[in-house]
Amino acid sequence: MTDPSTLADARGSWGFSREVQFFADRGYAVLRANFRGSTGYGLTFLRAGYKLRGRKMQDDLTDAVKWAIAQGVADPNRVAIFGASYGGYAAMAGLAFTPEFYRCGVNIAGVTDLDTFLQTTDYATATDPAYVGDPDREKELLEAVSPLNFAERIQAPVFLAYGRLDDQVPVAQGMQMAAELKKHGKTHELMLRRDERHGFAREENRIERYRRVDAFLERYLR
């Protein structure tokens, strides 16, 4: 499970989490990893993730999965990856770049194409070119770590959820990913809500999302 990433507080912290409790209630073991680039551990740890999305930042999540398997906590044949915002990107990157590790994945409002995302979003916090990459001078770097460009590699079913009013991650990021998955014959489910912004704030939408994710995991992970 990967957490949203805004530079103001880009890490998982001790305390109540709806998602953790939701999954734990259904009997799933939940692992939250504070990978390099997370805040709260000093500048060296933060800068260790600069321009390494989909690379070493993703390797930290892969290592966490390997650790959970080695400890006997996770069944290597039944591992899912879930994330929202940056975590949604990481979920898609995990499915595209290390498909052998995951049985299925859930992406909530995640970036799927860094190049177009940075060109259509104001630079701020987590979209700072120094942190992510410059679309004018580092286009190849961004394209190489954008899951949208590697949909054919994805083997596991994917659940995607986006809000049409999202002013942080445009809904096009999800719609384009769904189109690529369909093009390559990949199993996926897309949930769109016209009255939602970044994430799902409305209770009725959040409940429906949980129900649909629950059914998705029951179908592909149990």
Please identify which residue in the block is written with the tokens 């805004």.
6
Q: Is 85 a catalytic residue?
A: yes
- Buried b / exposed e along 189-198 (16+ C-beta atoms within 10 A): bbbebeebbb
Specify the DSSP element, H or E, that contains 81. Answer: strand 80-84
- Residues 148 and 112: their CA atoms lie apart, in Å, by 5
Q: Is 198 a catalytic residue?
A: yes
Indicate the length of the chain as a whole number.
Answer: 222
Q: Is 5 a catalytic residue?
A: no
3-state secondary structure 46-77: HHCCCCCCCCHHHHHHHHHHHHHHHCCCCCCC
Catalytic pick among 3, 5, 38, 85: 85
- Catalytic residue numbers? 85, 166, 198
